[in-house]
Amino acid sequence: MPVVMGILNVTPDSFSDGGCFNVPERALAQARRMIEAGADIIDIGAESTRPYGGTQPVTVEEELGRLRPVLADVVALGVPVSIDSMKSAVVAWALDQGAQIVNDVWGLQRDAGMAALVAARNVPVVVMHNRDHADAEIDIMSDIANFFRRSLDIAAKAGVPLANIVLDPGIGFGKTPEQSITVLAQLDELSPFNLPILVGASRKRFIASVSPSEPQNRLGGSIAAHVIAAQRGAQIIRTHDVAETVQALRVTTAIESKT
């Protein structure tokens, strides 16, 4: 069964739960709930990276201001904590506070200091595919593969061990809904990289393109996408809805064990 990463957004403007957990007490309670529900990792982010725009960039100090009241308490809960940030200064601070994993939505290609930091700290890093704008005309799987090759080259030059890298195709990021569906359908094409794959399809817009719905009403589509991703080789699933996702993956694993 894949590892389950629970999403904890301490932001006012994330696409599906902005403002829900930006009070420290609520954030800590949500982290506890996710751990009790079976989350193996808590992924905490303090800047919205919603794939569809409409958010304002925040400064390092703003991002740290959202993390300071809660990060150490989440770390103290005892499960590995991932810091979801594209800023190496924020990541460095979070690692100092006990975070153990880096989740970079720009795959080491946006902040010039990120790869060196990850190498120096010798921590796992999630390298996510991203684009500034979606382009319906491109071959999305080729674009992802080329992006990953660039990221892996950056990582190698910085001294990041290959064993520390996880690849994330970035469902919804710089992709049309149709392209996100294609990525999930063809996820096993990433197997030649021989690296763990993380998939985060939770509540994403492509679900509404198939079944019109608001983000909070996309649980069924999220679970379907994550089960299929696991069947196609995803080893980590990133989700807002931990209890339901864990149940779905456990049942899928039990059934597959009988085939």
What residues act catalytically?
Answer: 204, 238
As a whole number of angstroms, the distance between CA 177 and CA 56 comes to: 23
- Using CA atoms of 58, 64, 68, 71 in order, give the dihedral in degrees to the nearest 10: 90
Identity (one letter) of the amino acid at 116? A
As a whole number of angstroms, the distance between CA 238 and CA 241 comes to: 9
Q: How far is CA 189 from CA 111, 152, 153, 207, 246, in A?
A: 28, 17, 20, 22, 25
As a whole number of angstroms, the distance between CA 151 and CA 153 comes to: 5
Q: How far is CA 207 from CA 16, 70, 107, 178, 187, in A?
A: 13, 31, 24, 10, 17
Residues contacting residue 194 through CB under 8 Å, at least 6 positions apart: none
In 3D space, the residue among 195, 153, 187 whose CA is nearest the CA of residue 170 turns out to be 187
Identity (one letter) of the amino acid at 101? I
Q: Which string of DSSP letters, residue by residue, matches 23-44? A: SHHHHHHHHHHHHHTT-SEEEE
Run of H or E including 46: none
